[in-house]
Amino acid sequence: MGTLRCRSVFISDVHLGTRECRADYLLDFLNKVRCEHLYLVGDIFDLWSMRRTVYWTAHQSAVMQRILHMARNGVRVTYIPGNHDECLRDFAGSEFYGVQVRLNAEHVSADGRRFFVSHGDEFDGDVRHNALLKAVGDGAYQMLLKGNRVYNAWRHRRGHGYWSLSAWLKTRVGNARAYIRKFEEAAAREALRGGYDGYICGHIHKAGIEQIDGVLYCNDGDWVEHCTTLVEDFSGTMQLLHWSDHCRLEASEGSLEVPIPGLLEVMAGAGSKAA
């Protein structure tokens, strides 16, 4: 089993407590990564859904145990609650089992750049009239996720790897693309106002790395549709990884001559998730 070594890891939108959560893939990633900083950038738990019904698995418990194990063993773990776990914002400034709870954070990369880190739901007011956001608010989005789950179960039975039907559809709907762009631009404006070099967030379930008006916008994606994580290597370069039945380098800020230490070994051994 390969080991992925990096300086910092950013994950969000895990939605523990729901059937759509891909805790199996996330657990596999957390077991293979070694890092100094771990940022949990909101919606780790889906307390909205858990008010109606709770879907909990051994993999979800193991994800929590693994994060606490990392915190106990020297990894600096920062939890920034999102809108689906917003009640945890009441505990901002506290620390539980080595996990620091914050409303937001400033991350200084290895090359000295300053990144503002937040979940991203604070920008909902800038894009609230968009059709996709309304779909997220009602049952349409949940139906899309259910379709994604059923479709991937069908693929699995036929020996095919994970592929996000819902993510593919969102990139082809004009309203969805417009919503995503408004969100990205709002995040970049906020970083500029604060004098930051970049902005790191989640929330919209659309991973990406892009320069916008001189700001490096980074979205770490989710563990429901995309199974992506944002990582910082020891030079300060931000990279986006996809992690499911296979793992790959999804995006990087510029051409990458040397991959993250251990990535090639992990990619070669991909396909065996944690039990």
pLDDT in 10s for each residue of the chain, 275 residues: 588 999 999 999 999 999 989 999 999 999 999 999 999 999 999 998 899 999 999 999 999 999 999 999 999 999 999 999 999 999 999 999 999 999 999 999 999 999 999 999 998 876 654 444 444 444 455 666 666 667 666 766 777 666 666 666 666 555 667 778 888 999 999 999 999 999 999 998 889 999 999 999 999 999 998 899 999 999 999 999 999 877 888 888 875 555 677 777 777 666 555 43
Q: Which residues pair with 219 in a beta bridge?
A: 201, 208
Which pTM does this prediction carry?
Answer: 0.84
11, β-bridge pairs: 40
- Residue 123 one-letter amino acid: F
pLDDT of residue 137: 42
Domain with residue 131: its CATH number is 3.60.21.10
The two structure tokens encoding residue 257: 């001559």
pLDDT computed for residue 250 by the predictor: 86
Rounded to 5 degrees, what are φ and ψ at 143?
A: -65, -35
For residue 244, CA distances in Å to 19, 121, 188, 272 come to 16, 26, 29, 10
What whole-number distance in Å separates Cα of residue 39 and Cα of residue 29?
14
Written as six digits, the tokens of 243 are 């992690």
Domains held by the chain: number: 1
CB 141 within 8 A of CB 134: no
Q: For residue 275, tell me if it sits in a domain.
A: no
Calpha distance 164→250 (Å, rounded): 14
Which is it for the CA torsion 179, 182, 184, 187, positive or negative?
negative
- The answer to whether residue 218 is domain-embedded is yes
Domain span at residue 158 reads 4-268
Total number of residues shown for the chain: 275
Residue 274 within any structural domain of the chain: no
Would 82 be classed as within a structural domain? yes
